[in-house]
Structure 1
């Protein structure tokens, strides 16, 4: 198979190369990453992306452009009046920005959207022959038993039954994959938060759901077949299972990164405590300040790692 690819069936494993477990890619003359508007016949992936060491992904294109501008400043790579072009210009599916060794990509909302993006991102990194890549999802979430504004670094992603698994139907059959994340990376991020001392950060399980309303026990959707007591009992069960926040992407993110041999973490800020309500009541300015917290934490981590690499 091509350099950087590994065949899971044959048990091959890369050290910290990107593992893409698909032998069919060998026979393709060109790999078109349709949703990125990129292709191996039209773009020089090693030249454009070969230096990438960190990938940050988040739902909103605006948020990922903002992160690019922020990390450029943190790494001393900012240029006055610089414009960071969208590498995926020409498609409205995703946005992608790059500054130095950091790639920033939007993934939309929900498991299907981020899964499509990850398939193409993982192949992009492999075609570029990247090694030792760390991928972090930064975003927002609903908290359970936490003050709004608390940042949660995910220990493991669990489903709506609080089980650490991602289930997908492939060829009509159920395939269950692990949602284990890199524990050492989570601890490093927690240590970075202690160094910042700007906001509370905890490590906890993250519940990944298929829906924003009923799937998250909200009472304010178009349909609701349960009571307030039912909701509170369910959230209490989640808390007892170690769940500290709820979002809609972490399970497939964890599963696909693990399959690809990528160090991965999920860092999400909580915008409210779901045990105290379902709708956001904080001001726009307060919510905006909360949303900056994951990028501040991850930016500090990236800067620290690059400084260590320079010294060594």
Structure 2
């Protein structure tokens, strides 16, 4: 989906104008006129407002080293350390904050995770008691086609639910599974199970209030092995299927086609995202950071 001319907002920040241009979809905006290595306080405040307004922001044409990416990310808060690779090594030695999403191998060893396959709709690390509040992904190499990332607005999805469904879910808690990652791979050190009642994970309210915007949102996390506490398994599965039916509807989504130098920042609390598969013989290298959450979803 292209950017919408309608909804363009020019903001003059200390003599250095930036533009916040809506995608025209339920979420997402491109921020122009910003060099993330030279971002003053006023520009950062405007960028943060755009992020809260649009849930996902895109900044194109950036030239960031890993230390630049970490420095910009830290302006939002403390950073999570990336999980250790399946090989037991850090993705980037000396920079534990960097997680590499890639299908590239060097000397037969993957340099990153998630390969070239599809990544299903999910919220990052929602299986933790305090998930990260935000994620950033920076494109170093992209395939000629495929590998697009789509986002959906959990504000818009909640608002679209019928009133009777909102009443049914108002006080429910959902267990967010920690068995498998978004690519369907078993997490390191976890025993495989497909029983949502016994799988590892964290409990969160199904309907939450965003701590910065005050807006109400649905907090689903991911579908596989999810479980609504206190319900019979069949009832939980049926209700979750009913809710997930809303997730991929075009009215609530925005698809991003990557270019080298793109940085995308998304709010991990009020969005979900997924990735298209791409040709495994093509190269895709993305570096990710995550900003720690300060409290459990509520």
TM-score (norm 2): 0.30
Q: Which has the higher helix share?
A: 1
Q: Which has the higher strand share?
A: 2
TM-score (norm 1): 0.29
Question: Greater relative contact order (Cα 8 A, min sep 6): structure 1 or 2?
Answer: 2
